[in-house]
Amino acid sequence: MNDSSQRLSEWGAAAGIILGSGLNPIVPEQPAEVVSYAEFSEIPEPSCPGHAGRFALCQIEGVKIIFAQGRVHLYEGHNANAVTAIVRTLGKAGITNLILTNAAGSANPQFAPGTWMMINDHLNLTGTTPLLGGPNFIDMSSVYSPRLRDIFGNAAKKAAVQLHEGIYAGLLGPQYETPAEVRMIQKLGADAIGMSTVLEAIQARALGMNVAAFSCLTNFAAGISPTPLSHDEVLETGKSAAGDFGRLLKAALPGI
């Protein structure tokens, strides 16, 4: 274990939280310590706007957590092993509870932009997996921990945060989906569409972590709304919705 890994491990965090696009405002302004991804040779440098590329060691409601501010994606040219390096790094640091967040398009007309969806299952439409290379037959019957989902569901009521629950479809990207693709994904049962999270969840389950995941619904997917999609809109909506998730975390973390 190198010095940087040891600093993460010695923090003794109860949970790790990987942040999606535009969600950095969730992190307290003055972390106890900051560790750059650059200090870990296995973690690629994020190139997508809104991904800071660092671990922030923080306390919320007296609970120690590690925020991973940003991630890398398949569409940046990395393979599945590289995009899940952050999960393995957190696992080596002793993290057993992993909270994943992302910015996603809503494929459910009832789930309005600016709200949050707790993921209860996913569709891996990326065409790959971080478990390639061997007979890694990991059970995926319950990827997203029922216990953590109960904790967050109750916390949402306590904090008066609107929290949908549904299925997330993870695609390769980087282009947004066509209206025809969105209709196909809707027929497959997805409520939200994004370009991350599913591979991290698979890797986390392979490591025995308890996983909870949340989509910040930043826009309606193509064909549901006539408005053209843009990453600027994703970042702006993520920033405005970050306050709701911050309240949700404060209410939920003591139970974790």
Domain ranges of the chain: 3-255
Q: Are 35 and 55 in contact (CB under 8 A)?
A: yes
From the candidates 14, 37, 51, 242, which is the catalytic residue? 51
Residue from 173, 220, 180 nearest 196 by CA? 173
Concerning whether 164 is annotated as a catalytic residue, the answer is: no
**Average pLDDT value for residue range 3-10:** 90
Pairing of strands 210-220, 116-124: antiparallel
Residue 142 CB: number of other CB atoms within 10 A? 12
From the candidates 4, 13, 15, 76, which is the catalytic residue? 76
From the candidates 103, 118, 192, 252, which is the catalytic residue? 103
Q: Confidence band (pLDDT; 50, 70, 90) for 50?
A: low
Residue from 76, 40, 74 nearest 171 by CA? 74
**Average pLDDT value for residue range 69-89:** 95
Tokens 């920033």, residue located: 239
Per-residue DSSP letter, 223? T
**Average pLDDT value for residue range 97-109:** 96
User: Which of 30-34, 105-109, 124-128, 233-237 comes out lowest in average pLDDT?
Assistant: 233-237
CATH classification code of 3-255: 3.40.50.1580
**Average pLDDT value for residue range 226-255:** 81
- The pTM (predicted TM-score) of the whole model is 0.94
From the candidates 13, 73, 97, 190, which is the catalytic residue? 73
**Average pLDDT value for residue range 147-155:** 98
User: Which of 44-53, 55-64, 133-142 comes out lowest in average pLDDT?
Assistant: 44-53
Q: What are the φ and ψ backbone dihedral angles of 7, each rounded to 5 degrees?
A: -65, -40
Concerning whether 76 is annotated as a catalytic residue, the answer is: yes
From the candidates 97, 106, 145, 196, which is the catalytic residue? 196
Rounded to the nearest integer, the mean pLDDT of the chain is 92
Q: Residue 126 has what pLDDT?
A: 98
**Average pLDDT value for residue range 218-232:** 81
Both tokens of 218, joined, read 């930043």
**Average pLDDT value for residue range 180-199:** 98
Q: Residue 243 has what pLDDT?
A: 87
Residue from 111, 134, 90, 80 nearest 219 by CA? 111
From the candidates 15, 159, 195, 241, which is the catalytic residue? 195
Is 172's pLDDT higher than 90? Answer: yes
185 to 104, 107, 108, 131, 166: CA distances (angstroms) = 13, 8, 10, 24, 13
Q: Residue 232 has what pLDDT?
A: 73
**Average pLDDT value for residue range 140-156:** 98
Q: Confidence band (pLDDT; 50, 70, 90) for 234?
A: low
Q: Residue 227 has what pLDDT?
A: 76
Q: Residue 230 has what pLDDT?
A: 74
Concerning whether 122 is annotated as a catalytic residue, the answer is: no
Q: Residue 225 has what pLDDT?
A: 77
Q: Residue 58 has what pLDDT?
A: 95
Rounded to whole angstroms, the Cα distance separating 249 from 41 reads: 30
Concerning whether 176 is annotated as a catalytic residue, the answer is: no
Where do the DSSP E strands lie in 30-115?
Answer: 33-36, 54-60, 63-69, 97-106
Rounded to whole angstroms, the Cα distance separating 14 from 95 reads: 7
Q: Confidence band (pLDDT; 50, 70, 90) for 59?
A: very high
Which residues, at least 6 apart from 92, have a Cβ–Cβ distance to it below 8 Å? 1, 5, 8, 9
Concerning whether 209 is annotated as a catalytic residue, the answer is: no
Q: Residue 1 has what pLDDT?
A: 62
